[in-house]
Amino acid sequence: MTKKEIKALISLLDDNDHEVMAHVERKIVSLGEGIIPFLEEEWEESLNPDLQTKIEDLIHNLQFDGLLRRLKAWKEAGAENLLEGMWLVNSYLYPDVELGAINKAVDQLYFDAWTHMKDEMHPYDQVKALNNVMFREKKFAANTKNFHSPANSMLHLVLETKRGNPLTLCVLYMTIAQRLGMPVYGVNLPNLFILIYKMEGIQFYINVYNKGLILSKADIDNYILQLNLNPIDIFYEPCSNLDTVRRALRNLAFSFEKMNDPEKATEVTKLLTAITDEDPVV
């Protein structure tokens, strides 16, 4: 369709005939995300609040459908890039934030950490050096005041505010650690996401939410015992990028439930379902 035809189509959203309006909406949806700039232009030019609301809903639905497709494609391609997966989670609330902006901020953190690393450092010393950069120099910290805020799941906001939840802080820490050559991976503990430093002959855990506190397997045993749970492998071993992004979506859905926003919680659960083989528990 030409630009003129698209603008003519969008103008019919204001039609009084409900059948015409419904047909127009279906046609607009069929055109996909490429029509969004035209819808935004119409929104800016319109003085009709009802039409603006209708356009806002259409834009949101188009963006949501696009995000759903990109999440599925990310999973089907092997879910290899964790930052990309977290950026897709980020896109639910902030569709205009680009992956490049997140990569650039993480690149800078990596460079700052790299300057503190020395050859042949002991794993504990590597962790202490990275802790120093992340928590003392850059002042990243747990968002304990607003723990359930959806902002804690938005990676670009965590990079800006230096506050996040256990998972987003771990994702940043782990990404930088891996770029530094450290064998650091996520661990799906109940109620807490932590990291594991795992290589032949040495294994320990890192609680990023507590400023990179080093933990032993015995500490994990005690934690599981306090929760009255049976110790199973997934509480001790690395989880996949896909598992990490699924947990990020569960966190986000739970945040919206806590904020009494069931519509957004339901939408995020749909995103979770799209990359989950079984029925999700939120």
* In the chain, domain spans: 3-76, 82-274
Do 6 and 12 touch, CB atoms closer than 8 A? Answer: no
Give helix then strand counts, H and E, for the chain: 12, 6
Low-confidence residues of the chain, pLDDT below 50?
279-282
Give per-residue pLDDT as tens, 180-238: 999 999 999 999 999 999 999 999 999 999 999 999 999 999 999 999 999 999 999 99
Kind plus residue range of the DSSP H or E element containing 55: helix 49-76
Task: State the pLDDT at residue 161.
Answer: 97
Do 152 and 143 touch, CB atoms closer than 8 A? Answer: yes
Both tokens of 69, joined, read 């497709």
Do 114 and 120 touch, CB atoms closer than 8 A? Answer: no
**Which amino acid, residue 156?**
H
Both tokens of 272, joined, read 């979770």
Task: State the pLDDT at residue 278.
Answer: 56
Do 266 and 260 touch, CB atoms closer than 8 A? Answer: no
Strand partners, 186: 195
